[in-house]
Structure 1
Amino acid sequence: MQRNLFILCLFLSVSAFSQKDSIRTTILKGQIVHAENKRALSAAHVLNLNAVVGTITDDKGFFELPTKANDTILVSYLGFSSIKLKVTNDLLKGNELEIALYEKPEEIKEVIIKSTQLIGVLEVDVKLVPKDRFTRIHINGLPQTYEVGKPQGKNFASPIAALFQPVDFLYSLFGKKPNQLKKLQKLKKEDDLRKMLAGNFDREVIMEYLEMDRQELTDLLTDCQYSDYFIKKASDLQMIEAVLDCYENHKALKKGKIERNKIPVKN
């Protein structure tokens, strides 16, 4: 009986060790190259979406990143289509991985040029300058910078429509999946990740963690009273900080409403 018990304990110990060994963190090594001419892409971003750790490729396109099996890696480079890669045990056997990225097709947009007849009087010319929704207009001689284009709020007059406010979805998401909130907070906190995201503008990281597409992310930031200019021009780091600030403000507002509702009414 004791012999059988000893064998069972030994088996369980070996099994537990094997499971722990199978999920241990390993350094994934690889190179990011241009898909067509195999040119090395330096300063490409490589991010482990599960562990929230990232790195940037060196001048020869090489990178090293801590990973484990079943992690998802996001690789992005300015002007190229990003790629998501599921880490398998085969990739962790020590062989260097080559990841090829394709250039994004250029979008040709119609440009309309309009002339504005200025008369040389500052007070009058200010009113004649054409307004662009997505740019800041600064006129010499005036102390402030104008941000043209205010966010257009949505009409959530009915109780049913109010349920679909993007910021309420965000509040619900972080409540049901607090790990998503923790990952965004880590992106904002870690210096290396902050530097990486400060030069990134593709929105893919934040869309991944928020489980939103680009239009839904735009609706969320509009709901949070951010301007069209900010939504279009902000870096990914600024976007993450804006979403976290919006969430904290909304949480405080909801908490205040709940506490007020709990106050007993005196007759």
Structure 2
Amino acid sequence: MSFVFTLNAFSQNDSIQKTILKGQIIHADNNSALSAAHVLNLNTVQGTITNDKGFFELPTRVNDTILVSYLGFSSIKLKITNDLLKGNELEIALYEKPQEIKEVVIKSTKLIGVLEIDVKQVPKDKFTRIHINGLRQTYEVGKPQKRDFSSPLAALFQPVDYLYNLFGKKPKQLKKLQKLKKEDDLRKMLAGKFDREVMMEYLDMDRQELSELLTDCSYSEYFIRKASDLQLIEAVLDCYENYKALKKGKIERDKIPSKKN
């Protein structure tokens, strides 16, 4: 992943703000400003969006990692050093992602004008579960297809078990995801993101593993592809809480002594 940055000196008064990272996000090919680009401090879970001229300010510390992303462009991660916090302005150039042209197949459905008959001819919706942002309800249509773990050994590697163990051993990761969900500014940012990069960072998963996790949590392929990053974070947290409750219930049941006849 390529990026370009240059440092321009600010005045002495600006250099006093050593914990504020200031910069501009631009297009790598034509140097035009990228407004509404997302800048997130992965360590402190603080984020901002660039203004109409591509500028941003974000509280940082040495050794923090900054994730910069923009729809249709390749994201970058930047490690913060002392030099970057000496009142300098950081210019970050993002490169466009190559366009992928996919074949589109259009199928027609013959309708005769009678509602009771025509409705049966329309293909069923692909999604089986949709999580509506802001509502606790989950709307179900049919049953999602879950992976078949045919052996006890394979069952040990269920992604939901990995999630349960991850949040148990690394509670900071859980708290970071919860913070992303709670703070208004971060919610607004993630509601418009669909690249999954923040989740992959905090869950230490690639796209395929994240997809398998959500499938294991009974979310449909349609939901996994179409939901915003905020909706996916809510889905993962809900999955964890539900799985934790099931685990706790199983442990409690195991503690109850069986009655002998």
What range is the shorter-chain TM-score in?
A: 0.7 to 0.9
Give the counterpart of 2:205 among 197, 207, 212: 212
Task: Give the corresponding residue for 2:159.
Answer: 166
Give the AA of the match of 2:174: L
Cα deviations by residue, 1:159-190 (Å, 9 ceiling, x for unpaired): 21211111000001111111100100110111
1:111 alignment partner, SS class: coil
Instruction: Determine whether 1:90 maps to 2:90.
Output: no
Task: Give the corresponding residue for 1:27.
Answer: 20
Contact 1:31 1:61 in 2 (8 A): yes
1:219 alignment partner, SS class: helix
Q: CA deviation at 1:130?
A: 3.5
Q: CA deviation at 1:158?
A: 2.6
Aligned partners of 1:188 and 1:103: how far apart in 2?
Answer: 28
Aligned partners of 1:135 and 1:60: how far apart in 2?
Answer: 42
More helix by share: 1
1:28 alignment partner, SS class: strand
Q: CA deviation at 1:126?
A: 1.5
TM-score, normalising length from structure 2?
Answer: 0.85
- Moved segments of 4+, more than 4 Å: 146-150
Contact 1:32 1:101 in 2 (8 A): yes
Residue identity over aligned pairs, in percent, reads 83
Task: Give the corresponding residue for 1:257.
Answer: 250
Q: CA deviation at 1:148?
A: 7.4
Instruction: Determine whether 1:226 maps to 2:219.
Output: yes
Aligned partners of 2:224 and 2:62: how far apart in 1?
Answer: 35
Aligned partners of 1:112 and 1:166: how far apart in 2?
Answer: 33
Q: CA deviation at 1:265?
A: 2.6
Q: Aligned in 2, Cα 1:59/1:199: closer, same or farther, shift over 3 Å?
A: same
Give the counterpart of 2:51 among 58, 63, 69: 58
Gaps (5+ residues) in structure 2?
A: 1-16, 130-138
Give the AA of the match of 1:232: R
Q: CA deviation at 1:46?
A: 0.1
2:59 alignment partner, SS class: strand
1:170 alignment partner, SS class: helix
Contact 1:27 1:64 in 2 (8 A): yes
116-125 vs 176-185, greater mean Cα deviation = 116-125
Contact 2:24 2:91 in 1 (8 A): yes
Q: CA deviation at 1:90?
A: 1.1
Instruction: Determine whether 1:73 maps to 2:90.
Output: no
2:88 alignment partner, SS class: coil
| Higher RCO structure, 1 or 2 (CA under 8 Å, sep 6+) | 2
TM-score, normalising length from structure 1?
Answer: 0.83
Task: Give the corresponding residue for 2:238.
Answer: 245
- The residue correspondences of 1:174-189 to structure 2 (distance < 5 A) are 174-189=167-182
Q: Aligned in 2, Cα 1:242/1:135: closer, same or farther, shift over 3 Å?
A: closer
Instruction: Determine which structure has more spread, i.e. the larger CA radius of gyration.
Output: 1
Q: Aligned in 2, Cα 1:108/1:148: closer, same or farther, shift over 3 Å?
A: farther
2:92 alignment partner, SS class: strand
108-117 vs 152-161, greater mean Cα deviation = 152-161
1:96 alignment partner, SS class: strand
